[in-house]
Chains A and B, each alone.
Chain A
Amino acid sequence: DSGVTQTPKHLITATGQRVTLRCSPRSGDLSVYWYQQSLDQGLQFLIHYYNGEERAKGNILERFSAQQFPDLHSELNLSSLELGDSALYFCASTLGHQNTEAFFGQGTRLTVV
């Protein structure tokens, strides 16, 4: 158990809908990273939050948004969903320093039908 909790584990929704993925980092971790992993693909970096502030953005679509709350949990909002958004979405948390590994949640598998 990595200590990072992602909910839900599985999500099936229709095109055009909006969903929210939730991530609770390990106790004490200030950084949260979000990734998208499509079938047979690597992890595409979406966005990084540190202590409530956005620190870096990757190839995140405008239809996607995220935030980190004062209790440090984070949510990734995906709207106007398309079939191509079907993927495994991971969050990872880390203390905040470069020399510490990131711990991953189990991921949320999103299927858009």
Chain B
Amino acid sequence: AQKITQTQPGMFVQEKEAVTLDCTYDTSDQSYGLFWYKQPSSGEMIFLIYQGSYDEQNATEGRYSLNFQKARKSANLVISASQLGDSAMYFCAMRGGKLIFGQGTELSVKP
């Protein structure tokens, strides 16, 4: 069975600092994809970054990077130079047979 775990219900970060949001997963699939989505207070789900299970390099998209440690089954999201607009819920997701999501981490960026 697939499972995604986000252990940080809420996080605070100072503006312009970096922050790491944790995500661990469990799957017996050999091929899978890992994703991060952002959900601002307006409710829409915004795709941020993708990492394939066979990708050897960590994915990066602008200020977002995914710290992928396959042996540890972790896929942490790193946001560099936090901005006030980064305040939102962040969801880690995994796609094998299904596309499942973790419970989310609420990030608050302080000015």
Residues of A bordering B, CB below 8 Å: 2, 33, 35, 41-43, 45, 48, 55-56, 58, 88, 90, 92, 94, 98-104, 106-107, 109
Contact = CB atoms under 8 A, between A and B. Distances in A.
Nearest to A58: B98
Interface residues of B, number: 23
A98 to B, nearest CB: 5
B101 A92 contact: no
Nearest to A88: B43
A43 B101 contact: yes
A99 B33 contact: yes
Contacts of A101: 35, 47, 50
16 contacts: A33-B98, A42-B101, A42-B102, A45-B99, A45-B100, A45-B101, A48-B99, A58-B98, A94-B99, A98-B52, A99-B50, A99-B52, A100-B50, A101-B35, A107-B44, A107-B45
A101 B47 CA distance: 7
Contacts, number: 59
Contacts of A35: 101
A92 to B, nearest CB: 7
A67 to B, nearest CB: 18
Interface string B35-74: 1010000011101001010000000000000000000000
A98 B45 contact: no
B103 interface: yes
A58 B2 CA distance: 11
Nearest to B101: A43
A43 B37 CA distance: 11
